[in-house]
Chains A and B, each alone.
Chain A
Amino acid sequence: MLDRSEVLHVARLARLRLDDEEVDRMAGELSSILGHIAAIAALDLDDVPPTSHVVEVESALRADEPGPCLDRDVALAQAPAVQDGGFLVPSPQAG
């Protein structure tokens, strides 16, 4: 069973703010997921390669040919704040 501090650590990494009731619920839900993974981990899977992708496609590569870019006004349209043609954000040092 995950404890509260582990849930809060994961939530912090994902920038999620959970209230007390949610922390308890997530501890239960995450623990059941981890329990399922533990059940799989108990199997002898030495001969089975890890599955990184579920679709059997490989090497869908792109030729190095330039395509159109967005107009800057369009790119910046959804920014909460804009300055000097850039996205204005709180300084990470301050955060």
Chain B
Amino acid sequence: MNGGGMPSDGTERGAGGPAEVASYEPVIGLEIHVQLRTRTKMFCSCPLSFGEPPNTHTCPVCLGLPGSLPVANAEAIHYGLMIGLAVGSELAPRSIFHRKNYFYPDLPKGYQISQYDEPLCSGGRLGEVRIHRVHLEEDAAKLTHVGSSGRIHGSDASVVDFNRGGTPLAEIVTEPDVRSAEQASEWLRLLRTTLRQLGVSDVNMEEGSLRCDANISIRPVGTTQLGTKTELKNMNSFRFIERGIRAEVARQEALLRAGETVTQETLHFDPRTEAITSLRSKEEAHDYRYFPEPDLPPVRITNEMLHRARTAMPELPAARETRFASVLGLNVESARLLSWRAELGDYFEAALDAGASMHPPAGAQPLANWISELTARHDGDDPADSKVTPQALATLVGLVGSKKLTQGGAKQVLDRLVAEGGDPAAIVDAESLGAVGGADELAPVVRAALEANPDVAAKLRDGDMKPIGVIVGYVMKETRGRADGGEVTAIVRAELGL
């Protein structure tokens, strides 16, 4: 979609240019394509594809055969409305589809059915970034380059698989409110979580169900005029997005500092080499000659459709963050982490439920802290994919809460759980990791520590408590971290009659 009007029109000379500019700031707008999780395609009843053999999910409509007619998928429109509601868009009472005309082998009709000046959703905001619009369109087919082929005379060949062609897409266009590469990737995580919570998409970047383009320009700090923008295409991981934007901002800044200008063009970032290259640009490439799709009547959004979309809205990250903080009493960092990353929040709530029946119940903040310990040990984004069940983590937190396990002991148990799974209580018993507590158990160890360190013992007797760490360390080593530091200190004092 190109005609929607990103504010930078690219026809002006890049802002700045003079070498005396002290510093530049990036101005970034994002365009995100999201494959919707419907059962069938946008305009025909072919089922969506998940790795089926090529060209087995096609019909006359998605192959663009003459005489076929598209019919819009009601569920895709429903999902589009849900996205609009989630970002506070104005939902158009009536919206229409347009033909976006261009020739490419992944587009059998010679045009993509998209939306132009009457999109489904206009305006809105997610986090600190304003939304320009959200509209619906169809995905293109998949092209695989196969090198030279004897069957096509004298040229490189590609193979087209139309299984993906016609998959429903929502395109979400932001205003140019992003000011850094880091902010872009953080905001995209929030968007991904929001879309996942809505249940409208698989939002899997590796598999291409969430794809991001970035419109990037820079301008001298303190100025408001937009510089010439470039478009960085199709970045498929948060890391690449961050690195790609950073590389492009650096490239533009180097150009302006050298007294040159930025050319408006479409760019590709190669994450392996960090190289930015210009994609083939034809002067008419953006002359799409949009016109209303005569084969699709306007979509009238009825009260019934709106009601259904509103009813389907789940709790979104912002509301969840508030609930975690105000109802469960989590600190700000935990509340944000567990709400912006839905998989962590879901795991947290499952563990909280499992721990609720324990005596005493596993506390919310300790659980949140231990989920961070778990993610630090688990190789993957989602702790639900680890061998540690929410029930096991709740049990672990419960053991710490009831002083049956020290922090250090619990970390050892967690190491074992991550490696092998199982029941924390059983691991504690089998490995003798249970907390060592009470004067009966600890006093002999403390006495041994004092005997082994007569200098320290003498200082402590004289009231110099600084070296007590030596004694605590000795006890911890002897008990393999299973003693409570505070209790050890108390016993040292008792043993010395302090």
Contact = CB atoms under 8 A, between A and B. Distances in A.
26 contacts: A15-B103, A53-B297, A61-B73, A61-B74, A61-B299, A62-B71, A62-B73, A62-B74, A64-B39, A66-B45, A69-B56, A75-B162, A83-B151, A84-B159, A86-B55, A87-B159, A88-B146, A88-B149, A89-B105, A89-B160, A90-B157, A90-B158, A92-B104, A93-B156, A94-B155, A95-B155
Interface in B270-312: 280, 284, 287, 289, 292, 294, 296-300, 302
Contact of B59 (A65, A67, A85, A92): A67
Given A60-B72, A90-B152, A94-B156, 15 more contacts: A62-B71, A64-B38, A64-B40, A69-B46, A69-B59, A72-B54, A84-B54, A86-B144, A86-B161, A87-B55, A87-B160, A88-B159, A89-B105, A92-B143, A93-B280
Given A13-B284, A62-B74, A89-B105, A67 B40 contact: yes
B255 to A, nearest CB: 26
Chain A residues touching B, majority SS: loop
A25 B63 CA distance: 34
Given A81-B151, A92-B158, A57 B47 contact: no
A68 to B, nearest CB: 8
B101 interface: yes
A84 B145 CA distance: 12
The interface centre, meaning the residue of B55, B59, B143, B158 with most chain A CB atoms within 10 A of its CB, is: B55
B318 to A, nearest CB: 29
A59 B297 contact: yes
A66 B39 contact: yes
A76 interface: yes
Nearest to B63: A75
A35 to B, nearest CB: 19
A7 to B, nearest CB: 14
B96 interface: yes
A75 to B, nearest CB: 5
A83 B39 contact: no
Given A85-B54, A91-B157, A60 B71 contact: yes
Interface residues of B, number: 57
B60 interface: yes
A58 B298 contact: yes
A65 B39 contact: yes
Interface of B: 38-40, 44-47, 53-60, 63, 71-77, 94, 96, 101, 103-105, 118, 143-146, 149, 151-152, 155-162, 280, 284, 287, 289, 292, 294, 296-300, 302
Given A63-B74, A70-B60, A58 B159 contact: no
B298 A52 contact: yes
Given A58-B298, A62-B73, A90 B159 contact: no
B156 A91 contact: yes
B75 A64 contact: yes
Interface string A39-57: 0000000000000110101
A69 B58 contact: yes
A65 B40 CA distance: 7
The CB with the most chain A CB atoms within 10 A, among B45, B71, B287, is that of B45
B55 A72 contact: yes
Given A58-B298, A64-B75, A90 B156 contact: yes
A75 B58 contact: yes
A60 B296 CA distance: 8
A58 B118 CA distance: 14
Given A72-B56, A87-B160, A52 B145 contact: no
A55 to B, nearest CB: 7
A86 B59 CA distance: 14
Contacts of A62: 45, 71-74
Contacts of A12: 284
A94 B73 CA distance: 36
A83 B156 CA distance: 13
Given A53-B292, A60-B297, A69 B47 contact: yes
